[in-house]
Amino acid sequence: MLDDDPRIGSRLQRLRKQKGVSQAQCAQALEISPSYLNLIEHNRRRITVPLLMKISSYFGVGAGELVESDESRLTGDLMEMFGDELFADSEVTNHDVRELAGSNPRLGRAFVHLFDRYRAFRSAGGGEGGYDPATDAVSDFLQENSNHFPALEAAAERIRHDMDMASDSLEYGLKAYLMNVFGLRWLSGSLPNDDVLRLDTDRHELITNDCVPGETAIFEAGRQLGLLAAAPDIEGLLDDSTLLGDAWPLARRALAAYFAAALIMPYEPFYRACRDTRYDIERLARRFGASFEQVCHRMTTLQRPGLSGIPLHLVRTDIAGNISKRFSLSGIHIPRHAGACPRWNVYSAFLHPEQVNVQISQMPEGQRYFCIARAFTKGGYRHNAPRRHFSVGLGCHISHAGAMVYSDGVDMTNIRQVVPIGVGCRLCPRQDCGQRAHPFVQSANVSIDQ
């Protein structure tokens, strides 16, 4: 048996559904009974090393990636939730939280979603500024699907093939497809308020702002194409999800963006390019005509069984510390309801804009991650137009660092290069940190077992 008793149930169930096989078919391939597989999927049976390796081979994923489950993320979300003043009189311990996340993850996730709704209600009453639970719901939806949607990949590959047959240029192929299939003329023109795109259905025109970078215009046109051409696939994914109706518009936009990225950076060519360039984002951006952020996003989607990239995490924050995008397959926990650790390089990147900042980050429990981050500006396409400042962070577990070109020249064994970080001040036990902004939950609402 594995000493640390990994709980792989939710990850295994998700991989099985992505592969489109039943429990009976999967059990037969793994040479176990369907009832035993059902118990494993519900974390009610321990797993042997030979069976773990067999599962890893069957689904084409690394054993380490398979063992990394949703339990740690759910535990962190619950710890963050119980650190709120709402639970000031509770005596919940970290053992209670871990037990809930491990034994009944669905109930734990339901508690988190209920708290999201409570925060939205509190925000509407003036207690917080503009919190929208739909954002977290869509992040959970992407996380539950490992940010990989085979149906959208297939649709994008089919349409890209037709476009390539019409033109050697992605831009002209996209224009031809929009006109020939949907009767839409794609034009470039002036739009008010720094709007990037406008769809004029009366005049059958798709207009992108002539001030935005070329890769932005192509991406937005590709997103609109996704809403048209991949509508059945997108609606099917939403129908099969547990998302509430108010999260559908945002999820629909996220899935259309996924389609656009798959159209611009087709899966197999992009996967091979990532491997050949060792995840050199700048080179990949030039090769595929995409932005730095678009390439980072696309890298996180490489989860095709048998042809998967390294498991990555991604986070985007603005200069005020508000996290607007989060996704993690690396194992690092990204806070749900608050800003991340100020010592994380996703924040220090603002001090060196347009440069790739490298950091070996160590969490309190000892796990190390290789993180890169880059700050950039959006907007400001015309004189005196407002600008928005963001930082995007990408990273992996330290064991995968060598696969990334940014690790060259970095001594992974040098303890002096390791930066201690935490999930957030309320969840970080490092009491001597000079950048602590809030008390640790041990001195607030959540009791820490000894």
Q: What is the pLDDT of residue 47?
A: 76
Tens of each residue's pLDDT in the chain, 450 residues: 443 445 677 778 878 887 788 999 999 999 999 999 988 887 777 777 778 878 888 887 666 566 555 667 788 788 888 877 788 777 787 778 878 887 787 888 888 888 888 887 776 654 455 567 888 999 999 988 889 999 999 999 999 999 999 899 999 999 999 999 999 999 999 888 778 999 999 999 999 999 899 999 999 999 999 999 999 999 999 999 989 888 999 999 999 999 999 999 999 999 999 999 999 999 999 999 999 999 999 999 998 877 889 989 999 999 988 898 999 988 888 888 767 889 999 999 999 988 999 999 999 888 899 999 999 998 877 777 788 999 999 999 998 999 999 999 999 989 999 999 988 777 788 888 888 877 776 534 444 443
Tokens for 95, please give them.
Answer: 């053992």
Q: What is the pLDDT of residue 70?
A: 62
Query: Smallest Cα–Cα separation from 305: which of 57, 51, 68, 24?
Result: 57
DSSP letter assigned to residue 241? S
Cα gap 423→78, rounded to integer Å: 13
- CATH architecture under which domain 150-277 falls: Orthogonal Bundle (1.10)
**Which residues face 303 on adjacent strands?**
308
Q: What is the pLDDT of residue 74?
A: 82
Cα gap 250→267, rounded to integer Å: 24
Contact (Cβ atoms closer than 8 angstroms) between residue 427 and residue 79: yes
**Which residues face 445 on adjacent strands?**
none
Task: For residue 14, give Cα distances in angstroms to 32, 146, 351.
Answer: 18, 8, 39
Contact (Cβ atoms closer than 8 angstroms) between residue 198 and residue 219: no
3-state secondary structure of 371: strand
Contact (Cβ atoms closer than 8 angstroms) between residue 213 and residue 291: yes
In the chain, what are the domain boundaries? 9-69, 72-131+310-443, 150-277
3-state secondary structure of 328: strand
Class for domain 9-69, per CATH?
mainly alpha
